[in-house]
Amino acid sequence: MIVMRRLPVGWCARQSKTLVGGVCRAMSSGDSEVLLDSVGNKGVITLNRPKALNALNLTMVRKITAALRDWESSKSLVIIKGAGEKAFCAGGDVRAVTEAGLRGDKLGEDFFKEEFTLNSLIGTYHIPYVSFIDKITMGGGVGLSVHGAYRVATERTLVAMPESAIGFICDVGGSYFLPRLGGKLGLFLGLTGHRLKGSDVLKAGIATHYVESSQLDDLERSLLEKGNTVRDIEKILGEFSQRDVAEFSLLPHLKQINHCFSAPTVEDIIMRLKEEGSEWSLGMLQVLQKVSPTSLKLIKRTLEEGATKSLQDCLINEFRVACHCLKGHDFFEGVRALLIDKDKPKWKPASLEEVTDDFVASFFAPLPPDQELVL
């Protein structure tokens, strides 16, 4: 039972509860990978794997999904944040997925199916959903936040979709939100894995608000105390948000991005970067030459198709591609090289020219009806 009357601090301590603005806050166990706190008619989700940069595993996905479904009819606001000093969420636990795949079990398919279902739930959530994307926010962490109504970045935020470096695709709805960032910025971010920091996350359109990290506790307290309606929540977020932020760091390169990344094929993007010839373009060229050639073509196609699809259709498409990646080479090789052995990956196929149209198309083939993602 949530006690809404004013109570002394000692009472809450004796009851394994705490006070937020004088309101008793019921908390889940401190050793859980996901903490679920009820504060009156509001809920707070805390990702609690700080040593693993709050990387998502299947247990966490299931716990968050269950809480959101329960709270959608009983709460007026949900806040999600990450524990520790390094990350909101660094992504899905792809190391566990690949290790399971090498053992021959289906953890990967189960994980992606339930993670993408959670992304869809967030994208269609009926009550305000506020994510504090403070610190590292990559891959699955972006999926936990970007589809919600309100995304709060700080000066410590670092956002990226780095999947091309591990032989994968920009999943968790990446094919939906990236093409909608304006121009070719999303394709650039998806192919290169470029990291956006601080107020750049707001300028790019990924965050909706920018708040100094020192103000997050006060913002949370204010939302929990006074955020009873959408109007209240937007007023509070507006009061805490900083509008006088630095110029977008990519602004000097947007013309180059739009020119080079509007090329019809990945090979043509490479050619335009070479022809453009600036220090920046050649730096981006080096990045693209290191990542998986297969991933580059898969990401480009998923983003092109996603530009006109709903979030749910994007996730269904991504799930098909993800499942085919789990049966291929580069995803396992990329995770091995980047996260385990920390050496140079050996991609197969090794060049863009070897990644044929038929090979790319095979990743988009429908799955058996009983294996498809249903949203």
In the structure encoding, which two tokens stand for residue 238, read together? 């507006």
> Confidence class of residue 9 from pLDDT cuts 50, 70 and 90?
very low
Query: Residue 344 CB: number of other CB atoms within 10 A?
Result: 9
Q: Is the pLDDT of residue 17 over 60?
A: no
Express as a percent the part of the chain with pLDDT over 70. 92
Is 29 within the bounds of a domain? yes
**Which residues, in sequence order, are bridge partners of residue 79?**
44, 130
Active site residues per annotation: 92, 140, 163, 171
Q: Domain count of the chain?
A: 1
Q: Quick check: is 217 in a domain? A: yes
Residue 311 near residue 123 (C-beta atoms within 8 A): yes
Nearest to 226 by CA among 235, 238, 214: 235
Q: How far apart are CA 198 and CA 196, in angstroms?
A: 7
Q: Is residue 50 part of a domain?
A: yes
Total number of residues shown for the chain: 375
Reference 46, options 54, 35, 37; nearest CA is 35
Structural domain contains residue 4? no
Largest CA distance in the chain: 70
| 40 token code pair | 């009156």
Structural domain contains residue 134: yes
Rg (CA), the chain: 21
**Within a domain: 184:** yes
Contacts of residue 192, defined as CB under 8 A and 6 or more positions apart, other chains included, come to: 164, 284, 287, 288
In a domain, 15, yes or no: yes
Residue 1 within a domain: no
Q: What predicted TM-score, i.e. pTM, was given to this entire model?
A: 0.92
pLDDT beyond 70 at 10: no
Q: How confident is the model at residue 30 (pLDDT cuts 50, 70, 90)?
A: low
Q: How much is the mean pLDDT over the chain? A: 92
Alpha helices in the chain (DSSP H): 9-14, 58-71, 94-103, 107-123, 140-143, 174-177, 185-192, 200-203, 216-226, 230-240, 254-260, 266-276, 279-290, 293-306, 311-325, 330-335, 357-362
CA–CA dist 338, 34 (Å, integer): 26
- Region label for 362, one of left (φ > 0), alpha (ψ between -120 and 50) or beta (otherwise): alpha
Check which CATH number belongs to the domain holding 263 and give it.
3.90.226.10
Domain interval for residue 130: 9-371
Instruction: Lowest mean pLDDT of 19-33, 109-123, 173-187, 257-271, name the range.
Output: 19-33
Backbone angles phi, psi at 134, to 5 degrees: -85, 135
**Contact (CB, 8 A) for 173 and 145:** no
Residue type, 294: T
The predicted structure's pLDDT at residue 25 = 58
At residue 153, the pLDDT reads 98
